[in-house]
Amino acid sequence: MSGWRCPVCRGTSSRLLWRVGGDATENGVDPHLFRPSADRYGETVGTVLRCLDCGHGSLAETPTDETLAAAYGDAADPVSINEEDGQVETARRSLERIERFVSPGRLVDLGCWTGSFVAAAADRGWTASGVEPSAWAVQRAHERGLDVRVGDLANSGVAEGTMRCVVMCDVIEHLLDVSAAIEAVCAMLEPGGALYLTTPDAGGRLARLMGSRWWSILPMHVQYFTRASMLQLLGRHGLRVVDVTSHPKVFTAAYYAERLGGYSAGLARAAVGVTRGVHLADRLVAPDFHDRMQVLAVKPS
């Protein structure tokens, strides 16, 4: 497409990856769709192209920064409060991996939502804070007694060279300028510090099999990373990737069953009924579909 450049490698050659139904827009981007429990699978705000040079997927045409910022600022998701125990457990498992490479110190979670990663890190001895654009989510974090402030990557308030670890969980796929984002993160890190991020893996087998019906194709996602394109992006900014693996998330069994509503309301009701019938609805589970990645990259000392 004329004028398109790959956000990762700046290549200009592409092919169609997904042309999906719906556009998630009505008088602008709908903030109701910009929430963790959104289930409008297979809908984006435009056609998705794949770079022929590095394999990265991104929107052919993107919303403006101002439109996205307004949507994230207004986003709210009361459903996610019910899943905070699982979110803390997911973060605890992530921190176990992080601590294999860096010891606890100052940590900031960028796009921290209601602060579950901040809470888990503080429990493990980190000096942890968060930055989050959603005013609703920040209020919930304050109710949990956490050090979280309203902001985004452009106005995070994080001083250069002060962080042992910067966390970006399910964030980078929402950003228009991923190169600028990683550059900003590198500036925040102290020498030897680590960036930990998670994101859907568009190069995984499940994503390829499901095509445009993959559940990580969502209205709020503007980037679709593969492991190769992620490693290229981080390497271009001088970060040394030390750990890459799949990233299962911990939720209740009922929550996972409810997510089937993005395909069929009837199927979701039946699945939720089964979890309740066998008394597992509130059980925390972490199925690994191998369609998400967690990446740890270290800044040179």
pLDDT reading at 138 higher than 80: yes
Percent of the chain with pLDDT over 70: 94
Residue 237 in this model has a pLDDT that exceeds 60: yes
Q: What is the pLDDT of residue 22?
A: 53
Sign of CA dihedral 248, 252, 257, 263: negative
pLDDT at residue 41, rounded to an integer: 87
- In the predicted model, is pLDDT for residue 54 greater than 90? yes
φ, ψ at 239 (rounded to 5°): -85, 140
CA distance 16 to 47: 8
To which residue do tokens 């827009």 refer? 25
Is pLDDT larger for residue 34 or for residue 146? 146
Q: What is the mean pLDDT of residues 81-87?
A: 96
Whether residue 66 has pLDDT greater than 90: no
258-291, pLDDT tens digit by residue? 999 989 999 999 999 999 999 999 999 999 999 9
H/E element holding 157?
Answer: none
Q: What CA–CA distance (Å, rounded) separates 54 from 179?
A: 14
Residue 64 in this model has a pLDDT that exceeds 70: yes
Q: What pLDDT, on a 0 to 100 scale, did the predictor assign at position 279? A: 95
Tell me, rounded to whole angstroms, the distance of Cα 77 from its chain centroid. Answer: 15
When pLDDT is averaged across residues 219-227 and rounded to a whole number, the result is 94
Query: H-helix or E-strand containing 209?
Result: helix 205-210
Q: Is 275 helix (H, G, I), strand (E, B) or coil?
A: helix
Domain map (residue ranges) of the chain: 14-64, 88-247+294-298
pLDDT for 30 equals 60
> Which pLDDT score is estimated for 144?
98
pLDDT at 222 over 80: yes
Q: Smallest Cα–Cα separation from 156: which of 171, 140, 144, 136?
A: 171
Calculate the average pLDDT of the chain.
92
Q: Which residue has the tokens 């929550």?
A: 255
User: Which pTM was predicted?
Assistant: 0.93
Strand partners, 59: 48
Q: In this model, does residue 115 exceed pLDDT 60?
A: yes
> DSSP string spanning 91-114?
HHHHHHHHTTTS-S-EEEEET-TT
Span 199-228, average pLDDT: 94
Phi, then psi, of 178 in degrees rounded to 5: -70, -30
**When comparing pLDDT for 69 and 136, which is higher?**
136
When pLDDT is averaged across residues 18-30 and rounded to a whole number, the result is: 54
Q: What is 88-247+294-298's CATH number?
A: 3.40.50.150
**CA dihedral sign, ordered 157, 159, 160, 165:** negative
Give residue 27's pLDDT: 33
Please give the backbone phi and psi of residue 54, each rounded to the nearest 5 degrees, phi first.
-120, -5
